[in-house]
Amino acid sequence: MKNIVVIGGGMLGLSISLELSDHGVNVTNVFPRTGDTLSASRAAGAMLGAFGELSADDGAEEMAEFDFRLSAQRYYPAWLARVRERSGARVSQVEGTIIIANNQGARDRDCIRRMEQEAVLRGEPAEWIEPSDVPGLKPSPVHAPALCLHLKNEHAVNSGELLDAMELALGRCNTYRHLDKSVLRASPDGLSWAVALSDGTTLVADAVVLANGSRSLECLDPSLVEDAALPALSFGKGVSCLISGGPAIAHTIRTPNRTFACGIHLVPRPESGELYLGATNFTGVDEMAERKVQPGELHGLFDEAIHQINTDIRTSRIEQIRVGFRPIAAFKRPLVGQTRVPNLYIATGTYRNGVLMAPLVAAMIASELGLCVSPYQGNPFSVLTEQKQNGWDVERLLDVGVRDLVAFIQEPRSPLPYSRARELETYLRTLLQAAVYQDASGESLHAMIQSRLKEAPFNETVHKLFYEVGDQARKPAAETAEV
């Protein structure tokens, strides 16, 4: 393959362009530099989090991704050194992450313990430390963390500097050219590809790599998406901020993942004296409709950071607010490598971990193009294999989803009294299961609710049903149920 078009100029597009150019391929990298403010890569806190992204419920599918993340984390230092050397540019890195677990996160303690166990198993440093020994940690007393874990090898980079450095390195490479345009359509033409651009011109290439984030499928005709057996893409909108005049912190401080998002985190940017504060997560499919920031998103972000990390954040100054769209594919599984359509490759679906994964993904793409031996054995994210929902059966999806939903309902500061959060979980899960499955337990629930409402037709019955529905919680018979 001599001429390859790489679509996208985020972490994925640039890492892949760099890798392919290094192997002597003529790369035409198409992405709009001007006016594109929605790149996930530029909005990212860019934590290189293998362990910090673990959740207590992670099953086989997530652990396969975790293994990849850990390899990507170990691959990073040499790769980053190469980018720095090739570009001659600064790419700042903050060493180490402190994970904090408090009572605000329903599963914080389970998550942090899982992180520690997995780190010990894999010979990575993980040390319990006293909250008072964490530089810059000063939460409201009611939100004091119960546990703090120092992950010394879990760093963060400045993603803006990194992207700029990659562009500089690529600019020095005579097998690379950037076109400041958008791709409208990529279509096969025999074994070659015709790539139609926004200025009306068309490129001809031997292969195309789709690496334009959450919009990676928009350049293909829908019939081609089907031929390539590519699952639909959506996004997780993320809002983050840069603040100045905040407290001095030495390492990244973050909570575990919570309520459909990556927890609250503060990443120091010593090079500018600023702090990065992230991040929200809300899924959707229409980037243009969601490109603006909602006050509620900022409210949630700052409420958590001020109360759970450092109360002095309230007197800092907001320097920048960013929005980015994390690419998500079915089962939250990345999509990497050759597709079923000849000479069409994809690298996306990296969701919350694209900055970390990009360099290793780029090496895998180069290896699938026959340019090198992959530093990672196998491809857990291949789109050639059948997309299985390992570890994400409907039962588990409802379980984890309802639990996170109930936690989300209580954010940022309205915890439910008594045991109502757990009761609400049971209630919602039971109703949702009855709605999803067509089986005997759904029918008996339906009959029970009907008969109660008939027996006692007044609103107080709904209160009673809150408990009675919970008592009817389904037995684990879902495997045999029809969905």
Ligand X SMILES: Cc1cc2nc3c(=O)[nH]c(=O)nc-3n(C[C@H](O)[C@H](O)[C@H](O)COP(=O)(O)OP(=O)(O)OC[C@H]3O[C@@H](n4cnc5c(N)ncnc54)[C@H](O)[C@@H]3O)c2cc1C
CA nearest neighbour of 11 among 47, 39, 51: 39
Question: What does DSSP say about strands 202-205 and 26-30: parallel, antiparallel, or unpaired?
Answer: unpaired
The answer to whether the CB of 64 falls within 8 A of the CB of 268 is: no
Quote the CA–CA distance of 304 and 4 in Å, as a whole number.
45
Task: Please report how close the Cβ of residue 10 comes to ligand X at its closest, in angstroms.
Answer: 2
Quote the CA–CA distance of 42 and 50 in Å, as a whole number.
20
Q: By CB under 6 A, what part of segment 36-75 binds ligand X?
A: 36, 39-41, 43-47
Q: Does 8 bind ligand X (CB under 6 A)?
A: yes
Among 178, 251, 326, 403, binds ligand X (CB under 6 A): 326
Instruction: Tell how far CA 96 is from the center of its chain.
Output: 20
Among 4, 5, 12, 309, binds ligand X (CB under 6 A): 12
Task: Please report how close the Cβ of residue 48 comes to ligand X at its closest, in angstroms.
Answer: 7
Quote the CA–CA distance of 70 and 356 in Å, as a whole number.
9
Q: Name the 3-class secondary structure at 188.
A: strand
Task: Please report how close the Cβ of residue 353 comes to ligand X at its closest, in angstroms.
Answer: 4
Helices (H) and strands (E) in the chain, counts: 12, 20
Q: Does 93 bind ligand X (CB under 6 A)?
A: no
Q: Does 445 bind ligand X (CB under 6 A)?
A: no
Q: Does 329 bind ligand X (CB under 6 A)?
A: no
Select 36 or 221, whichever has its Cβ closest to ligand X: 36
Q: Does 300 bind ligand X (CB under 6 A)?
A: no
Among 107, 155, 178, 215, binds ligand X (CB under 6 A): 215
Q: Does 6 bind ligand X (CB under 6 A)?
A: no
Q: Does 136 bind ligand X (CB under 6 A)?
A: no
Q: By CB under 6 A, what part of segment 216-235 binds ligand X?
A: 218-219
Quote the CA–CA distance of 244 and 276 in Å, as a whole number.
9
Quote the CA–CA distance of 72 and 48 in Å, as a whole number.
9
Which residues share a beta bridge with 150? 98, 127
Q: Which stretch binds ligand X (CB under 6 A): 108-116, 208-216, 311-319, 422-430?
A: 208-216
Quote the CA–CA distance of 46 and 157 in Å, as a whole number.
6
Instruction: Tell how far CA 50 is from the center of its chain.
Output: 12
Task: Please report how close the Cβ of residue 280 comes to ligand X at its closest, in angstroms.
Answer: 7
Q: Does 134 bind ligand X (CB under 6 A)?
A: no
Select 232 or 435, whichever has its Cβ closest to ligand X: 232
Q: Element (H or E) spanning 400, and its range?
A: helix 394-409
C-alpha angle 6/161/53, rounded to 5°? 80
Among 6, 91, 277, 279, binds ligand X (CB under 6 A): 279
Select 212 or 367, whichever has its Cβ closest to ligand X: 212
Q: Does 256 bind ligand X (CB under 6 A)?
A: no
Site string for ligand X, 337-356 (x = CB under 6 A): -----------x-xxxxxxx
Q: Does 17 bind ligand X (CB under 6 A)?
A: no
The answer to whether the CB of 151 falls within 8 A of the CB of 99 is: yes
Select 126 or 208, whichever has its Cβ closest to ligand X: 208
Select 41 or 87, whichever has its Cβ closest to ligand X: 41
Quote the CA–CA distance of 248 and 231 in Å, as a whole number.
44
Q: By CB under 6 A, what part of segment 366-405 binds ligand X?
A: none
Quote the CA–CA distance of 187 and 197 in Å, as a whole number.
12
Can the peptide bond before residue 412 be classed as cis, meaning omega within 30 degrees of 0? yes
Select 303 or 439, whichever has its Cβ closest to ligand X: 303
Select 257 or 350, whichever has its Cβ closest to ligand X: 350
Quote the CA–CA distance of 128 and 98 in Å, as a whole number.
9
Site string for ligand X, 306-325 (x = CB under 6 A): ------------------xx
Select 393 or 411, whichever has its Cβ closest to ligand X: 411
Instruction: Tell how far CA 372 is from the center of its chain.
Output: 28
Select 199 or 443, whichever has its Cβ closest to ligand X: 199
C-alpha angle 60/110/312, rounded to 5°? 125
The owner of tokens 């840069």 is 242
Select 325 or 427, whichever has its Cβ closest to ligand X: 325
The answer to whether the CB of 119 falls within 8 A of the CB of 76 is: no
Task: Please report how close the Cβ of residue 303 comes to ligand X at its closest, in angstroms.
Answer: 17
Task: Please report how close the Cβ of residue 91 comes to ligand X at its closest, in angstroms.
Answer: 14
Interface residues with ligand X (CB under 6 A) are 7-13, 30-32, 36, 39-41, 43-47, 182-183, 211-213, 215, 218-219, 238, 240, 278-279, 324-327, 348, 350-356
